[in-house]
């Protein structure tokens, strides 16, 4: 079993790297952002609720997010392990994840932070916004708000795992393959 959290600001490349890790280690990738977008596309009640927050660059309330994540994990309890992408983003979410993992007799093995500075983030997301139809990617104010929310509510989660010796930091700058090889090095050093 291997359970990883890919961590970092919006636009740091978590989704791209998670897809590669998923293939390499046969893990189940859970992206809360993708889950919300699919709820929105399907016009569900949860999607309507989430859209309100996402369009402003705010976090969806913890109880909604945690409930959705719990269902997804329980539905895939046979997985060889999970890659969490975009979760946890707050301390209550980190507590809930611990709880869920221990209920499955598992634990988080590592959190890996992809470090990318704010100006690069804004540049990348505006570029992504031109090619995708993500409504939260087109507006610079919304993007900067997402970065602010990340710094105030999410970045402190790094220490939560660092205290247990489970946090790693790598540069999110460089080519996709360069970053991926740093990730592999970090994961292979875990020897779980």
CB of 75 to ligand ADP, least distance (A): 18
CB of 49 to ligand ADP, least distance (A): 11
Residue with Cβ nearer ligand ADP (64 or 186)? 64
For residue 38, what is the enclosing H or E element? Answer: helix 32-41
Residue with Cβ nearer ligand ADP (17 or 65)? 65
In degrees, to the nearest 5, what angle opens at C-alpha 39 toward C-alphas 36 and 43?
A: 140
Chain centre distance of CA 78: 21
DSSP string across 88-150: --SHHHHHHHHHHHHHTT----EEEEEE--HHHHHHHHHHHHHHS--GGGS-HHHHHHHHHHI
Residue with Cβ nearer ligand ADP (36 or 168)? 36
Radius of gyration of the chain (CA): 16
CA dist., res. 116 & res. 113, Å (int) = 9
Q: Which of residues 147-176 bind ligand ADP (CB under 6 A)?
A: none
Question: Binding pattern to ligand ADP, positions 104-133, x when CB under 6 A?
Answer: ------------------------------
The answer to whether residue 13 forms part of the interface with ligand ADP (CB under 6 A) is: no
Tell me which of 16, 49, 51, 53 binds ligand ADP, using CB under 6 A.
53
Q: Is 8 annotated as ligand-binding?
A: no
The answer to whether residue 10 forms part of the interface with ligand ADP (CB under 6 A) is: yes
Contact status, residue 135 vs residue 55, Cβ threshold 8 Å:
yes
Q: Is 17 annotated as ligand-binding?
A: no
Q: Is 13 annotated as ligand-binding?
A: yes
Chain centre distance of CA 148: 16
The answer to whether residue 33 forms part of the interface with ligand ADP (CB under 6 A) is: yes
Integer CA distances (angstroms), 145 to 22, 53, 121, 122, 138, in order: 30, 12, 12, 11, 13
Q: Is 146 annotated as ligand-binding?
A: yes
Catalytic residues: 14, 89, 128, 134, 146
Residue with Cβ nearer ligand ADP (93 or 182)? 93
Q: Is 44 annotated as ligand-binding?
A: no
Binding site for ligand ADP (CB under 6 A): 10-11, 32-33, 36, 53-54, 57-60, 65, 86-87, 89, 93, 136, 146
């Amino acid at each position: 079993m291997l359970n990883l959290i890919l961590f970092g600001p919006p636009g740091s490349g978590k989704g791209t790297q998670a897809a590669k890790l998923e293939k390499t280690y046969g893990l189940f990738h859970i992206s809360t952002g993708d889950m919300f977008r699919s709820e929105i596309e399907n016009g569900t009640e949860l999607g309507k609720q989430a859209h309100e927050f996402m369009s402003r660059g705010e976090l969806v309330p913890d109880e909604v997010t945690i409930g959705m994540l719990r269902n997804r994990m329980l539905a895939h309890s046979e997985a060889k392990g999970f890659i969490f992408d975009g979760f946890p983003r707050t301390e209550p979410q980190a507590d809930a994840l611990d709880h869920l993992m221990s209920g499955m007799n598992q634990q988080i093995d590592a959190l890996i932070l992809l470090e990318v500075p704010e100006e690069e983030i804004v540049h990348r997301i505006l570029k992504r916004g031109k090619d995708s139809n993500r409504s939260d990617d087109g507006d610079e104010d919304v993007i900067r708000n997402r970065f602010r929310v990340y710094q105030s509510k999410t970045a402190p989660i790094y220490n939560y795992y660092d205290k247990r010796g489970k946090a790693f930091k790598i540069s999110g700058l460089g080519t996709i393959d360069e970053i991926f090889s740093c990730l592999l090095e970090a994961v292979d050093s875990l020897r779980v």
